[in-house]
Amino acid sequence: MEKIYFEHEKKSRPVKACSETIQFLTSFSKSLCIVKPNNIQFEMNLN
* Alpha-carbon span 44 to 27, nearest angstrom: 14
| Nearest one of 38, 34, 17, 35 to 26, comparing CA atoms | 17
Q: What is the pLDDT of residues 35-44, one digit of tens each?
A: 999 989 999 9
| Nearest one of 45, 47, 25, 41 to 33, comparing CA atoms | 45
For 32, the enclosing helix (H) or strand (E) is strand 32-35
pTM of the model: 0.49
pLDDT of residue 17: 85
Count of structural domains, the chain: 1
Q: What is the pLDDT of residues 13-47, one digit of tens each?
A: 778 889 999 999 898 888 989 999 998 999 998 87
Task: Give the residue numbers spanning the domain of 25.
Answer: 2-45
